[in-house]
């Protein structure tokens, strides 16, 4: 039991690393099995297809985002707007460390999969869309608390503002990946909170 | 001469359509040749490899973005900030029409390629990075004109603000692609100009 569980985890962890470094389509089941040191028979025992593994990658990455970025960032020890900025700052730190380790700014697997696979795989698209909505809900909840405590104007469209902050989050990751430079994400993340105001007339 | 030029154009146009609908890696030279009605020998006459065609796709798309979106949006008949909003609006209209035509929100090939290929192909990454910088320069020039005519505060960091607007542009395209709904891009694009102000303290 211990060994088979290990194999499943290893397959998921390996897929995260390989898909992030390359892309979903360019990584084969063979690549993943070889790198993970797991036999192909075991792979298909856990995952009917590469796509099923990719769906598990989304869950795994989202879980680690919650543990490493969102849950600590959105703790109530600072005002709501500071929590949102802290989310950006924590993500910048993790992406910077990953770049130091791999020599590349590889971005977020969720964003990478969204642009690579969304138009080809409806199940994956819906899963990513649902995950982005959960991500947006973290931000929206903080905005609502800010409206409640008076630190954010009451007429703010909290739902759309949360979506705009999430869009910005993924946009600056794209620019940093294209520049292969985490400093791009760092510099631009300091401008995120400008999106928290009523739109200009 | 006319026929061979035709074949080259057909290959590029077909590659734009196929790569946009699927992804770079999942589209083969065979797929492109079959759909374009061009023999493989002709393909390799024009392009040493699929990657060379993909580089031509970037040029072709960027040229059409300039003609269809940027050059008309940034004309001087309205104040600079309105030009930037017009850029978003024109892009929304084109993506909406494309969605009506294909049944899918397929996004921008430049953004799709950036996330799919940047970490695997340094030549492509640099080309996309350079193209994004040209795109950002359009926005930055408008911001500078706004500073000159007094419609934008003089202390604005025009370079970083332009990059933040470009990031937002690509972020809302990602959200719309993941939702498969151009209305997401439309709704969020109305908030773009909030990024044109000094960062909150």
Report phi then psi at B75, rounded to 5: -65, 155
Contact (CB, 8 A) for A105 and A179: yes
pLDDT recorded at residue A198: 61
* Contact (CB<8Å) A119/B129: no
- pLDDT (average), residues A136-156: 95
User: Hey, are the CB atoms on A120 and B23 less than 8 Å from each other?
Assistant: yes
Reduced to 3 states (helix: H, G, I; strand: E, B; else coil), residue B155 is coil
What DSSP character marks residue B27? Answer: S
Under an 8 A CB cutoff, do A161 and B191 touch? yes
What average pLDDT score do residues A56-79 get?
A: 98
Least confident of A88-97, A127-136, A190-199, B59-68: A190-199
Separation CA A50–CA B189 (nearest Å): 35
- For residue A197, the model assigns a pLDDT of 79
Which residue ranges in chain B fall short of pLDDT 70?
1-5, 198-201
What does the pLDDT read at residue A201? 44
Report d(CA B106, CA B176) in Å as an integer. 9
CB contact under 8 A, B161 and A191: yes
Q: Answer yes or no: is the ipTM higher than 0.90.
A: yes
What is the CATH number that goes with domain A51-195? Answer: 1.10.357.10
With CA atoms as reference, report the closest residue to A196 among A88, A113, A115, A103: A88
Report the sign of the C-alpha dihedral through residues B173, B179, B180, B182, in that order: negative
Taking the C-alpha atoms of residue A80 and residue A82, their distance in angstroms, rounded to an integer, is 5
> What per-residue confidence (pLDDT) applies to B199?
56
Rounded to an integer, what distance in angstroms lies between the CA atom of residue B132 and that of residue B127? 9
Mean of per-residue pLDDT scores for chain A:
95
Class in CATH terms, B52-195: mainly alpha
Neighbours of B56 (CB within 10 A): 18
Residue A83 has pLDDT above 60, yes or no: yes
Is B188 within 8 Å of A164 when comparing Cβ atoms?
yes
Structure tokens at B101: 């035509």
Amino acid B4: pLDDT: 55
Q: Which pLDDT value is given to residue A2?
A: 45
Q: Which of A125, A175, A190 sits opposite B199 (nearest CB)?
A: A190
- State which residue of chain A sits closest to B187, comparing Cα positions: A160
Q: A175 CA to chain B: closest CA distance, Å? A: 6
Mean pLDDT of A109-115: 97
Is the pLDDT score of A31 beyond 90? yes
Determine the length of chain A: 201
What share of chain A has pLDDT > 90, as a percent? 94
**Per-residue pLDDT tens digits for B47-71:** 999 999 999 999 999 999 999 999 9
pLDDT of res. B197 = 79
Which DSSP string corresponds to A88-114? HHHHHHHHHHHHHHHSS----HHHHHH
Our separate counts of H helices and E strands in chain B read: 10, 0
Q: Looking at beta carbons, which residues of chain A come within 8 Å of B105?
A: 119
Length of chain B as a residue count:
201
Q: How far is A4 from chain B (nearest CA, A)?
A: 32
CA distances from B149 to B80, B137, B139 (A): 9, 18, 16
Of B185, B161, B181, B184, whose CA–CA distance to B84 is shortest?
Answer: B161
């Amino acid at each position: 039991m211990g060994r088979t569980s290990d194999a499943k985890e290893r397959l998921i962890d390996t897929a995260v690393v390989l898909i992030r470094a390359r892309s979903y389509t360019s990584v084969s089941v063979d690549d993943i099995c070889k790198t993970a040191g797991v036999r192909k028979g075991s792979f298909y025992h856990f995952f009917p297809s590469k796509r099923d593994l990719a769906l598990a990658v989304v869950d795994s990455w989202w879980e680690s985002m919650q543990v490493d970025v969102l849950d600590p960032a959105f703790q109530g020890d600072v005002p709501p707007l500071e929590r949102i900025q802290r989310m950006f700052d924590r993500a910048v730190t993790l992406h910077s460390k990953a770049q130091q380790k791999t020599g590349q700014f590889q971005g977020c697997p969720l964003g990478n999969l969204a642009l690579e696979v969304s138009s080809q795989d409806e199940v994956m698209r819906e899963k990513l869309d649902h995950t982005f909505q959960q991500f947006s809900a973290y931000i929206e909840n903080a905005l609502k608390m800010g409206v409640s405590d008076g630190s954010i104007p009451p007429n703010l469209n909290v739902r759309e503002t949360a979506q705009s902050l999430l869009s910005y989050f993924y946009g600056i990751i794209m620019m940093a990946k294209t520049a292969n430079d985490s400093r791009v994400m760092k510099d631009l993340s300091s401008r995120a909170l400008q999106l928290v105001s009523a739109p200009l007339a």
